[in-house]
Amino acid sequence: MSANNNSTGGIGFCGLLTIVFIVLKLMHYIDWSWWWVLSPLLIPIAIVLIIVFFIVILRVFFALKVKRTVKESGFAARIKKMERMRENMQRSKFKDNWKS
């Protein structure tokens, strides 16, 4: 039996870039701060934060749009009017039953 070891992933571009920068810094080919040398490790974190930020913005935008649409369509007002009519009908039935 052969074991299929199909693992994906690996070090990735940002990890490889970080290793290259660390080697260059330790060999004194670059005179950068360690923040800049290790900055490629922050790239995936920054991408995730940007995606989360846009998702939050889109959810807020669509939530406000839905509220605005409900107000503009008058749907909520029609529901309230129907509820008032139902209450009035129930009151009138109660009064009619009370009189008889």
**pLDDT tens-digit profile of 38-85?**
999 999 999 999 999 999 998 888 877 766 665 556 777 778 888 888
What's the pLDDT band for 99 if we cut at 50, 70, 90? low
pLDDT value at position 93?
72
CA nearest to 18, candidates 2, 1, 35:
35
Prediction pTM value: 0.51
| Contact (Cβ atoms closer than 8 angstroms) between residue 43 and residue 14 | yes
Q: Tell me the C-alpha distance between 40 and 19, whole Å.
A: 9
